[in-house]
Structure formats: C-alpha cells, structure tokens
Amino acid sequence: MTKADPLAASAQPPIHDFDPPDINEGHPEMYWPGVAATVLSCAAYALPFVVSFPLAPTIQIIALGVLTAVGYGIANDQLACRQCIHYFTVGHTPFHRRLLATENPTVNGIVWGIHATWREGLIAGVGLALAAQASNLVAISALQLTPFAIALDLGVCLLSQWKAAEKEHEWKAPERRAILDRRFQKVIGPERGYHPVDLQRIPEQQRAAYLGVGARNAASYVFMPLGGLLMAIGTVAIRFFSTLI
C-alpha cells in the first residue's frame, strides 16, 4: 500500500470538512420572528375596521408597511424559488443558514419572502405613518394608501422579473460558459455563526438561473426602497396641497 502524501492531502482539503453538521437542516429560530410580525400586522391592519382604539390609524399604516414588504417578498420569492431553489438552500451570502430542510419552492418562497423583508417593511411603515399622520395637515388613512401599496408591489415584481430573465438569458450564452464555470469554483466564506456557501453544489444547468435570481434581488433592493420613498413624498405632497384647495 502506497503511503499518502500529507502535503498533497493538505493542498486540496475536502470542501466540506468545515461544514457545520446542520448545514442541510432548517433553522426556524431565524424566521419565526418575521412570521409572528406578519400575523400581528394582519391583525393590526384589520382591527381598526372593527374596533376603535388610540393610535389605531397610525398602527394600521405601520402594519400596511410590513404587509406591503412581506407581500412583495412572498410574491417575488415564489418566482425566485422556481427559477433557482439553490439560491436559498445552498445560499448566496456569507450570512447564510438554511431556513427550511425542504426544497419545496412554495414553502421556501413564503418563508424566505417573510424573513427577508419584514424588518424593512416595519421601518418603511413607521416612515409612511409619519408622512400620512404627523402634523396638523389632513391625515391620510391606511385604506387610502393600500391601492398605492398594491401597485408598488406589482410594479416592482414586474421589474424584478424582467431583470432576472434578462440576466439568466445573458449567462446562458455559449460564449460565457467558461466564465460561468469559473464563477462557481469557489466557496463563500461564512461570517461567524453562519454556513459556508459552496457554489460547486449548484448544478451546472442551474447556474445561469442562480445569477438571474441574484439580479432579481438586486433590483428589489433598489426599486422597493425607491418606490416606498416616492410613496411617502407623494403622501406628504397630497396632504399639503389638499390644504390649499
């Protein structure tokens, strides 16, 4: 029997030697706060239509902010998980831990959609509530803002889908195959407490789609905050000009 060369063995260590044992297990502790916030926001949005209580209009608008972000996240990730589920299961950032021990695109789309957006929605909801309720100007209600929130979600969903399809088509070009293969010959090192993302685990036929999902998310992080900001500015403008009529 030939003795193994220790230098050769150490030169190319097995890629998964440093993977934590739970790399393919779900982490409900990461997503349950978002699920709880979404349920509470549903109640906070609906309750003022039935019962009046202090600060009800303000709380209702904050809830609308959460529901707008979460609604977009779920809709977008339903498409994203069907485009490339590995973006969520294998991962895409140094802050990755798998949320669910399943590759079901519907369930992953719901959970990831909530997990990735509810905090931003809460911040946006507070800002929108100030824009709609603060000062002595005529107040605007959550019910009046809801059609604009729905339009924002639909508009950004369409833009993100277009960017995702464009990027995937771009990377499927035969002349880009060698570059594509090189991009997936690496591991994204994790931050402390997270999992390494071994890009070699992405199937070859899914790699262009994986980058398409990345473009989808990049577009979301641009268009959703921009749309929310425009919505807040528009709300203040409507309140101001309504006092002049």
- Using one digit for the tens of pLDDT, what is the confidence trace for 50-81? 998 889 999 999 999 999 999 999 999 999 99
Q: What are the phi and psi torsion angles at 73 (to 5°)?
A: -55, -45
Confidence bin at 92 (pLDDT 50/70/90) = very high
- The stretch 210-216 carries a mean pLDDT of 97
Closest by Cα among 234, 225, 75 to 145: 234
User: Rounded CA gap, 110 and 73, in Å?
Assistant: 8
Q: Is the pLDDT of residue 34 over 50?
A: yes
Closest by Cα among 30, 156, 32, 39 to 97: 30
pTM of the model: 0.89
Q: Residue 242's pLDDT is what?
A: 82
pLDDT tens per residue, range 114-153: 999 999 999 999 999 999 998 888 999 999 999 999 999 9
List the chain domain ranges: 23-242
Q: Is the pLDDT of residue 175 over 90?
A: yes
Query: Are 93 and 112 contacting, i.e. CB atoms less than 8 angstroms apart?
Result: no
Strand residues in the chain grouped as ranges (E): 187-188, 197-198
Closest by Cα among 49, 238, 26, 4 to 137: 238
Q: Residue 18's pLDDT is what?
A: 54
User: Rounded CA gap, 77 and 105, in Å?
Assistant: 9
User: Rounded CA gap, 142 and 125, in Å?
Assistant: 10
